[in-house]
Amino acid sequence: MTRTTLITGASKGLGRTLASFLAAQGDELILTARGGAALEKTAADLQRTGANVRALPGDVADPDHRKALVAAAAEKGGLDLLINNASTLGPSPLPDLIDLPAAEIRRILEVNLVAPLELVRIALPVLKSSGGLVINLSSDAALGGYEGWGGYGASKAGLDLVSLTLANELRPVGVAVVSVDPGDMNTEMHQAAYPDEDISDRPEPEATLPFWAWLFGQDPADVSGRRFQAQSEQWLVSS
């Protein structure tokens, strides 16, 4: 049976890598990102391979856009995978947390924490109909307390707790939720965190594919509530 997958932040980096991987598995994809031109290019590249892709540019912090994404999934009759990958880093270079303006903190939390939760909330009917799996992209910044990463890290720590709570609450209705720290990668966001450094030695997003191939082969009920590290020797984070 064909799987329907919604990926946010899908135009570049890990989001594009996941879209390419899942398109090759035969998934029907709904892709979104803020950068319309880059998203349309990603969609066109995948469509040339025969993939079934619908691109809906927009900001996941916009409630109307979230509704449009879920409506697109409802048109397909359900949602098997919701991958909350879209994130914002905040100002670059990264300021100390004490110097991060309140408006920037609110924006980071709106995109990285509130939007994923709201997408799950409004997508719940279509997730339930498919026995869907929600994957929330976390970070080691959620645990590290790294200088400069306070706003972003706080949003991801909150997302980890949201993921675990939703997993517990939604288990009775057959919806699974996990969080995944993909590890350091050579992406535009990571470069923005270190604007004066050469990060070309970081792994490409494709380095995470062995983990994703494993995760997508699991029974969602068996992994729900877990936190994973996609580039570690042991993928499952001990509780």
In the annotation, is 152 catalytic? yes
In angstroms, the CA 111 to CA 117 distance is 10
Q: Provide the total of helices (H) and of strands (E) in the chain, helices listed first.
A: 10, 7
Q: Could you say which of 86, 126, 135, 152 is catalytic?
A: 152
> Taking the CB of residue 139, how many other CB atoms lie within 10 A of it?
24
For every residue of 175-238, DSSP letters joined together read -EEEEEE----SSHHHHHHSTTS--TTSPPGGGGHHHHHHHTTS-HHHHTT-EEETTSSS-BPP
What are the start-end ranges of the E strands in 114-175? 133-137
Three-point CA angle 22, 186, 94, nearest 5°: 120
Looking up tokens 């068996």 gives 222
Three-point CA angle 139, 145, 150, nearest 5°: 80
User: Is-contact 8 86, C-beta < 8 A?
Assistant: yes
Q: Give every CB contact of residue 17 below 8 A, 6+ residues apart in sequence.
A: 205, 206, 208, 209
Among 31, 79, 36, 83, residue whose Cα is nearest residue 52: 31
Query: Active-site positions?
Result: 152
